[in-house]
Structure 1
């Protein structure tokens, strides 16, 4: 845990006692702050108290005694409606911050030569993959990589700071809008598409929140920007014009005069005064799909900007196992492979998987999102057969029947994977893919997408084990004949 020593002696209110709230409260308490923590939910308060968090009812607090409010990222301080705790803070001129700001102040309190390296990643899509990939590269290259923020461990739950540590942080717009002191050595801005507009008002507000990742950088820092979309291009142009930091454009689909780009699956380094092919991403089993090419370019640029060897980075990229539940390769039976994409809970996410493979035996369904799967029509040509589960099965069946895509209602995941495996192995299709990419939430049959993905993985590995055992037995019998 990182102790928040910069707040020693201060009275800090903490509202929202989920993962980040509990983490912030315990960090502040360990650093010597007086913590008043609260949540609207009694059960959540009880859980926090059991972890050692000191509770105080903020609805009746004297806000003139409070030095700062640490507000959970999911609690709005302005739009769509100001939460009562944020209103109390504003009325008393109490600054509103988040756990990332606490972390940033701890970093900046250290002497410059003793500060750990910070790599911060944001964007609408690809944050988790890029963050995890950067952590993997650093670890493979012998660095102490601490990965967290909006993924995995909360930032203040990461290991205590030391001079040689690298903190790799996935940051959401909700976190960035309440962070003021963060100065990343490398900031990554992947892309921007409409999301969370109720919270930020419009695309301009959403982009402004994301762009805060660059605010405190100086000439020795790197700003890495995906330029495959219009928002990234304009952000790149603006930062280059300021001429106060190293700006590195990245692209997953076109050549660049400088930066890092991927052309037909090959990643090129154009950062070091010459163009050098580093790695063939089509051989990176943990980065299936063209949408991952920009993620790989971003990861390369970030760690190369901090001095890691280019060839070593390339080798580490090839060894990346991928992210759980995001086009995760599980194993194979014969020529058919299993891919767990349980995180794909909407059609936009499923599109990335469907356009990445041919000869798909598609498992989909659950609790449908608005719009269904109609938007996936351009990718239906890659589906050999669909196996539908959960509440959405009848509606999905109607859509697929209308598009003349063979499909059946399997009901539950076990039946779906068994039928998909049987059909894939019986087919003459080249390298068939048994793909769980549900286009749905999970809560009709599973608590969350992680449990759904874990069940798919368990079932797939059971089938792989049986298949391998039967092949081994057949070989033994043949050898003994």
Structure 2
């Protein structure tokens, strides 16, 4: 873990005892702080207590003794209403921090010879793939690479820092809202489209949260900014005018006078005197589709910002094995292939997978986002049949009425079994695609748990006796 500095001998309240909160509590203790842990779920409190961590009822605690509140990113900070812990902290003048901010302060306090490189990645879609891709390129180039944040291990649970390490961190808008002093060597803002609007009070608040990844960069740092959407274009123009860092625009759809871009699957580096072709992404088996081309351009630019050679960066792109829960093939039964795209938690992300297949049996639903699946109507003709799960099922069924065949399956296992039966009966090569276009929180802890439920259901079918799968 990374011992947190700056709170030695002080007491920090920690609310939210999932992966992020527990890692932060351990790291604070390792750095010499006292901690007071609380969660509204009794099971979470019991698990923390069983580990020997001090559980304190924050509803009755004396908040004047806390130096800070470490808030898990899933807890509302401002919208739709501040959580009661936020109100309590503000009433007592207690600073509210996230785990990335604790990491940032620890990095900033380190002597120069122990300070690692930090890459911070955000965006509405593609950030997990891009984070994993950058980490893969860095590791392939021989760098001591640690990947975490909003993917895999919470940042403070990663191995302790040293001057030669590279931390590659995925950052959600929730985490960015709780971060003020992070100074990344390379920041990546992939794209922006409407998402999590209820948590940020609308699009303006959401864009402001995403832009925070660029907050503290200075001379010599690199900002990689996607310009395929209007918000990214505007931010890139504004940041370029400030002229305090190296700006690398990226695009998956157009040639540019400077930056990194992809045309017809070919990646070009236009950061020098002329554009140079550096990779044929059509040969990168784990990076299909235009959305992955943007991810590849961003990862290449970030790697170059860390001083990795063009050749090493391109080799890393080609050898990338892919990311779990993102267009991941988890099994094949006869002519039916099962694709796990559980990471698609909004319609825009689902579009990326749906656009990759001319026909598919679609498993969708969960906790709906603003706008539902209305924006996907141009892709409805590709749906062989839809199998709807979770809270969104009735609304999605209404949207699809008359446009695609629909069954309200309710659960992932039921949807998988029904989709397989129909796909197998078609007698054709078929794709069963889990791309929910929804959050997972109505039935699962996160998208990863949802993806694992899909994988388990597929594995159960693969090992079922012949003829055991009913329609």
Normalised by the shorter chain, which TM-score bucket?
0.7 to 0.9
8 Å CA contact 1:397, 1:409 repeated in 2: yes
Q: Which moved more, 1:438-447 or 1:275-284?
A: 438-447
**Corresponding residue of 1:417:** 420
**Corresponding residue of 2:163:** 163
**Corresponding residue of 1:127:** 127
**Corresponding residue of 1:436:** 434
Counterparts in 2 of 1:460 and 1:244: CA distance versus 1, 3 Å: farther
**Corresponding residue of 1:450:** 451
Matched residues in 1 for 2:146 and 2:438: separation?
Answer: 32
Deviation at 1:181, TM superposition (A): 1.7
Q: What secondary structure sits across from 2:53 in the alignment?
A: coil
Alignment pair present for 1:77 and 2:77:
yes
Deviation at 1:58, TM superposition (A): 2.6
Matched residues in 1 for 2:8 and 2:192: separation?
Answer: 38
TM-score with structure 1 setting the length: 0.85
Deviation at 1:251, TM superposition (A): 0.7
Q: What secondary structure sits across from 2:76 in the alignment?
A: coil
**Corresponding residue of 2:469:** none
TM-score with structure 2 setting the length: 0.87
Q: Which moved more, 1:15-24 or 1:254-263?
A: 15-24
Deviation at 1:199, TM superposition (A): 2.6
Per-residue displacement from partner, 1:380-427 (whole Å, max 9, x unpaired)?
3434x3263657889877866723x5678885413422441453xx34
Pairs aligned (count): 456
Counterparts in 2 of 1:377 and 1:212: CA distance versus 1, 3 Å: closer
Matched residues in 2 for 1:120 and 1:334: separation?
Answer: 42
8 Å CA contact 2:364, 2:434 repeated in 1: no
Counterparts in 2 of 1:393 and 1:31: CA distance versus 1, 3 Å: closer
Per-residue displacement from partner, 1:265-312 (whole Å, max 9, x unpaired)?
111111233311122222222222211211111111111111112122
**Corresponding residue of 1:470:** none
**Corresponding residue of 1:475:** none
**Corresponding residue of 2:47:** 47
**Corresponding residue of 1:109:** 109
Map residues 24-423 of structure 1 onto 2, 5 A cutoff.
Answer: 24-330=24-330, 337-344=337-344, 346-358=346-358, 360-365=359-364, 367=366, 369=368, 373=373, 375-383=375-383, 385-386=384-385, 388=387, 390=389, 402-403=402-403, 411-423=414-426
Per-residue displacement from partner, 1:165-219 (whole Å, max 9, x unpaired)?
1101111122112212211000001111222223322322222222121122111
Q: What secondary structure sits across from 2:6 in the alignment?
A: helix
8 Å CA contact 2:12, 2:36 repeated in 1: yes
Deviation at 1:51, TM superposition (A): 2.3
Q: Which moved more, 1:361-370 or 1:28-37?
A: 361-370
8 Å CA contact 2:125, 2:348 repeated in 1: no
Q: What secondary structure sits across from 1:277 in the alignment?
A: strand
Deviation at 1:365, TM superposition (A): 4.5
8 Å CA contact 2:195, 2:346 repeated in 1: no
Q: What secondary structure sits across from 2:286 in the alignment?
A: helix
8 Å CA contact 1:134, 1:303 repeated in 2: yes
Matched residues in 2 for 1:389 and 1:210: separation?
Answer: 31
8 Å CA contact 2:112, 2:163 repeated in 1: no
Q: What secondary structure sits across from 1:388 in the alignment?
A: strand
Matched residues in 1 for 2:459 and 2:95: separation?
Answer: 47
8 Å CA contact 2:366, 2:439 repeated in 1: yes
**Corresponding residue of 1:476:** none
Give structure 2 stretches of 5+ with no counterpart.
Answer: 467-471
Q: Which moved more, 1:206-215 or 1:336-345?
A: 336-345
Matched residues in 2 for 1:230 and 1:243: separation?
Answer: 20
Q: What secondary structure sits across from 1:286 in the alignment?
A: coil
Matched residues in 2 for 1:98 and 1:444: separation?
Answer: 24
8 Å CA contact 1:364, 1:440 repeated in 2: no
Deviation at 1:116, TM superposition (A): 0.8
What is the aligned-residue RMSD (CA, Å)? 2.9
Give structure 1 stretches of 5+ with no counterpart.
Answer: 467-481
Per-residue displacement from partner, 1:50-100 (whole Å, max 9, x unpaired)?
223212233333333322221121223333222232222222222111111
8 Å CA contact 1:196, 1:206 repeated in 2: yes
Q: What secondary structure sits across from 1:59 in the alignment?
A: coil
Deviation at 1:113, TM superposition (A): 3.2
Counterparts in 2 of 1:333 and 1:317: CA distance versus 1, 3 Å: farther
